[in-house]
Amino acid sequence: MREITYEQAALEALQEAFRENPRMVHLATDPFPEMAKEFGDKRVRVTPICESTFVGSAIGLAGSGYRTVVNIRMATFGFVAADQFINHMSKITYMFGGQAKFPILVRMQVGAGKSAAAQHSISPYAMYAQMPGLKLILPSTPYDIKGLFRTALRENNPVISFEHMDFGMMKGEVPEAEYSIPFGQARIWREGTDVTIVALARMAHLSMQAAAELTREGISAEIIEPRTLIPLDKQTILKSVARTGRLVVADEACQTCSLASEILASVVEDRTAFGRLKAPPARVCGLDLPIPFSPPMEKFVVPDEEKLLKTIRALMDNVVG
């Protein structure tokens, strides 16, 4: 199978959808030359640097019969359009009683590791999860971003795609034939019997590296990557934890009020999974701090493979620090 980059896979999904639907519009502050060349500058608009304006425009276009794609770039820029997301995009289908559809795909870059400093480094998907009415996806491979985009671009509700800043040039296998990935369907990256690792975004890749090290120590780790956060595939997670008896949730976002907390709570609330736990569940998350610019300080704040290994080893000893 051919290998293409994460960003190429996303672009392919957009191009295919734009060819299928002439009432699709792309809004971003940066030019997208491949898109503009094929679809023209009326459908592929370069906007002013004013997120509240073009996110609001996307909502209006969607309510008028268009399907809109909005590229916010770094997720921190999305806070400029907070009112549009919180009071309008997430609520508008409900406010119309379902009589109008608002098909919107918003793209945001998340994560750390590039010394982009606090105002350009964040993983705020837990904030958006607090806004009923939005669907949230977190693609972690080229295969996933194309398949999830194909689903998102047929969805009649607003979807936000959170894309880690490390992933743009990452290569992976992507079929040339058309395919899509349903929302709410997690992927088991690796089967195991001793501990379940639910890993988000970059932590899924680090978990695979950690699992190889754990195998040499006689520990079998199962790795689950949710792919979509809203809806969340809780059943796959619960079945895995009921089988392994141990859970670690790995997420680069801050720990407090995180998706990691929600995943952990869903296991604790499930009678079967909770009853089979051999040790208290654990989280490996970013510290509750703004992301520093300094590379050594940034590395200290963000979870890594070693922190994950330390937590799993302690869990296997039934001691969680």
The residues, any chain, with a CB within 8 Å of residue 92's CB and separated by 6 or more, are 59, 63, 100, 102, 133
Distance between CA 303 and CA 300 in Å, rounded?
Answer: 8
Distance between CA 54 and CA 39 in Å, rounded?
Answer: 19
| CA atoms in the 13 A half-sphere facing the CB of 23 | 10
User: Rounded to the nearest 5°, which phi and psi values hold at 297?
Assistant: -70, -40
Strands in the chain per DSSP E: 3-5, 24-28, 44-46, 67-74, 104-110, 135-137, 159-164, 171-173, 187-190, 195-199, 221-225, 228-230, 247-254, 282-286
| Catalytic, out of 26, 88, 120, 164 | 120
In which region does residue 5 sit, left (phi positive, over 0), alpha (psi from -120 to 50) or beta (all else)? Answer: beta
Order of strands across the sheet with 104-110?
A: 44-46, 24-28, 67-74, 104-110, 159-164, 135-137, 228-230
CA angle at residue 183 from 166 to 151, to 5 degrees? 80
Within a 10 A sphere around the Cβ of 43, how many other Cβ atoms? 18
**81 touches 51 (CB < 8 A):** yes
Active site residue 88: no
Q: Which residues are catalytic?
A: 120
